[in-house]
Structure 1
Amino acid sequence: MSDKELFLLLLPVLIPVLLTQSILLFIDAKKKGSYPWFWGIWGLIQVPTPTLCYLLFVVWPYKRKQKRS
């Protein structure tokens, strides 16, 4: 199996995963007021790094801030 064939087999799985990640990051970032377009576009480019960084830099600080209030 060549690289091109493997890519064509993975494409139908990869596209929905990237779109779903991007949409969910965008919606949640919009709710939290944290650069939704940045997170949405980055979510379209690769997986799972944007989600992990989003959790680390947006979600956890947001939850800490909510607990202090």
Structure 2
Amino acid sequence: MKFDHLPLWGWILVGLTLLIQATWIFLDARSRGKKPWLAWLWGFWGLTSFPLPSIVYLIAVIGLDRRRRKTGRSIRTKK
């Protein structure tokens, strides 16, 4: 199958996938973050490709947040 002859339903599916991913990342980043511009940055990156932004977001934001909650301190502080 050639990608330049993708049917209309394929383009709609690609668009919906990117829109859903970007919306989820934006809403989750906005609810977690203190910097509103960072949530917009994550959301815009979610519109560009699939699934790399979701994977990086899950590892970088959610994974580190869970680790911080488990240890009870910030990841960046060293004792």
Q: Do Structure 1 and Structure 2 share a fold, with TM-score over 0.5?
A: yes
Percentage identity across paired residues of the two chains: 33
Look at both structures and tell me which one has the larger radius of gyration over its CA atoms. 2
Partner of 1:45: 48
Partner of 2:76: none
Following the alignment from structure 1 to structure 2, what is the Cα–Cα distance between the partners of residues 47 and 57?
A: 16
Following the alignment from structure 1 to structure 2, what is the Cα–Cα distance between the partners of residues 12 and 63?
A: 35
Partner of 2:24: 24
Structure with a larger share of its residues in helix? 1
Deviation at 1:3, TM superposition (A): 3.8
Task: Give the unaligned 5+ runs of structure 1.
Answer: none
Normalised to the residue count of structure 2, the TM-score between the two structures is 0.76
Normalised to the residue count of structure 1, the TM-score between the two structures is 0.86
CA shift digits 1:27-46 (9 cap, x unpaired): 00111106211110000010
Following the alignment from structure 2 to structure 1, what is the Cα–Cα distance between the partners of residues 52 and 7?
A: 20
Deviation at 1:6, TM superposition (A): 1.8
Following the alignment from structure 1 to structure 2, what is the Cα–Cα distance between the partners of residues 3 and 56?
A: 30
After the TM superposition, which segments of 4 or more aligned residues of structure 1 sit over 6 Å from their partners?
A: none
